[in-house]
Amino acid sequence: MPEEMLESSEEALLDAAPGTRQYVIFLVGGEVFAVDMEPIKEIIRMPAIVRVPLAPSSMEGLFNLRAEVLPMMSLRCMLGFARQEHCDSTRALIIGSEQPLGFIVDRVASVIGVDPGVIESIKGREAKKRASFVSGVIKELGGFPLIMVLDFARLISQEFNDIARIAHTGNPDVPADQFLSVEEEGSDEMQLVSFAVAGQEYAIDIAQVQEIVQVPERIVQAPNSSAHVAGLITLRERVLPLVSLRSLFNLPARSMDESSRIVVITCGAGAMGLLTDNVAEVLRVPNSIIDDVPRLLAKDGKLNEIGQICRLSGGARLVSIIIADNLFQNAQLDSAPDTCEIASEQTDADLADEDSTDDEQQIVVFRLGDGEFGALIESVQEIVRVPEELTQVPKAPHFFEGVINLRGSVLPVIDQRKRLGLPVRERTDRQRIVVLLLDGVRTGFIVDAVIEVLKVSKSAISESPCSFAKSSKVLGQVVNLEQQKRLVQLIDFACLSEGEGEGACVFMESVEPSLTEIQ
């Protein structure tokens, strides 16, 4: 129990007569309420809150309370008062045992001892207005002329009839080391993670990519290392060397910013991070548009890091494919393998554990508004840029943006902001289309930005406490990254295709003739 609550509780106990019960007195919307202290776990200041799309208006969002993800409710909204900005006096009451919930109040006044005999039933017009959630009133106590005793159990039952307890569960034991669906592993295609370095586009085979992460605040300099080694980073108790591709390719230096990303790749028995300006896309391209580097450029061995060139947009867009195994064969990096070896010695045990267990899950993390959302990596086919124009389809749902031609196939595209009821925004260069396979139909979802690809422990993934209203299925799980103070809500895209004609796949069946004409 917080210190401020404990002190006031002890004072009340000293003054309390035998047989009295402790009540917490608080204010909401200018009115005074009381609640029995027994179900209150603690009283806290307002924590950081993550908004939940499709949630009831009375739900403020989710918050992290000592590794437990809980929903936060607005008592102002539940009791019919106008919303107001939180201030220093705003507090949250944590109520419940099996399913704790947070309730925001304007101010906590005191903790007082109350004789149950002084609690009166409410009558008349006030009874009709308040009886659904007020169990009685207390008159002339604690300096307040009238205090309403709030029945939280009744209030919760009235607002959400099906709030369920939080249940921590694992995830399906599906290998998720690639963005490749099982039925397409034998296809004549190559899957690439593309990224930018000094305005040039490069890519690497996704089979060699372990994950994509943001640049950490702390990078430790490695003594006596090559100029191309930017330092050492710690990634989940693994020490990795960080290589600057700008320096490696003799490109102009640039300070790292919020768009910079680290692509973690397999390096022999260990791993290393490649520092890039930003990660652009995850591409699925046919082998027919991939060519070997011209012999004239590769004959002296100075460009052996670049093994192939991918021709996109009819050759107007060229992507250089990096061969990860060749990165440290250049004579200029003789000292780099030593650094990599140091990391390898410290991570051999970790790598062995990773190979022998299936206790991790890979998550594609993207941004929608101020929130971070994610999808299990095995459900993602690829990630592509949003084209300048999309072909509109008549009589489409409001969230259906249109269709695009993706390498000869028609791809329906849904605006994920509209689908989740978020405010619409103008198109930006950072927006991407996340392509998924839903009921046999490839469907694209526009997101504000793809942030990273994370490996997380399955123990960090739990069922969301938002088991009510529209968000219960669509946002059924949440990733609790407690050390980073982040909550990533996992979207079940398959649920977006369900419903009475609102889903992407349902709609696709109705417009199939139109799509054939467009194709």
The pLDDT of residue 470 is above 50: yes
Domains of the chain, residue spans: 3-159, 182-356, 360-518
- The reply to whether 182-356 shares the fold of 3-159 is yes
Q: φ and ψ at 495, to 5 degrees?
A: -70, -25
Token pair for 509: 């069946």
Give the mean pLDDT of 228-236.
84
pLDDT-above-70 percentage for the chain: 74
In terms of Cα–Cα distance, which of 246, 182, 166, 251 is closest to 461? Answer: 166
Best CA proximity match to 422, nearest among 450, 402, 453, 446: 446
pLDDT greater than 50 at residue 148 = yes
CATH architecture of 360-518: Beta Barrel (2.40)
Q: How confident is the model at residue 329 (pLDDT cuts 50, 70, 90)?
A: low
3-159 sits in which CATH class?
mainly beta
Question: Average pLDDT in the 190-216 region?
Answer: 88
Tens digits of per-residue pLDDT, 29-38? 989 999 988 8
- To the nearest whole number, what is the mean pLDDT of the chain? 77
Residue 157 has a pLDDT of: 72
Percent of the chain with pLDDT over 90: 19
Contact between residue 463 and residue 473 where contact means Cβ atoms under 8 Å apart: no
Phi-psi region for residue 140, left (φ > 0), alpha (ψ -120 to 50) or beta? left
Contact between residue 58 and residue 78 where contact means Cβ atoms under 8 Å apart: yes
Confidence of residue 448 (pLDDT cuts 50, 70, 90): very high
160 vs 185: which has the higher pLDDT = 160
CB 34 within 8 A of CB 138: yes
Q: Span 216-236, mean pLDDT?
A: 80
Pairing of strands 21-28, 31-36: antiparallel
Q: Which fold has domain 182-356?
A: OB fold (Dihydrolipoamide Acetyltransferase, E2P) (2.40.50)
Higher pLDDT, residue 331 or 455: 455
Q: What is the pLDDT confidence band of residue 305, given thresholds at 50, 70 and 90? A: confident
pTM as predicted = 0.68
> What would the mean pLDDT of 408-416 be, rounded to a whole number?
88
Tokens for 41? 């776990």
In whole angstroms, what separates CA 345 from the centre of its chain?
Answer: 32
Write the single-letter amino acid at 410.
V
Residue 445: band (very low, low, confident or very high) from pLDDT cuts 50, 70, 90: very high
Mean pLDDT of 305-333: 77
Residue 81 DSSP symbol: P
185 CB contacts (<8 Å, ≥6 apart)?
A: none
Q: Which residue has the tokens 């941004």?
A: 367
DSSP 8-state class, residue 220? B
What three-state secondary structure class fits 154? helix
Is the pLDDT reported for residue 513 higher than 50?
no
Cα maximum dimension of the chain: 96
Query: Residue 124: what pLDDT?
Result: 54
Q: CB-based contacts of 250: which residues, under 8 Å, 6+ apart?
A: none
**Has residue 15 got a pLDDT over 60?**
no
488, 452 contact by CB (below 8 A): no
Q: Cα-Cα-Cα-Cα dihedral of 88, 90, 96, 101, to 10°?
A: -100
For 287-389, where are the E strands, in sequence order?
Answer: 290-292, 306-312, 317-322, 360-368, 371-376, 380-385
CA angle 335, 340, 344 (to 5 degrees): 150
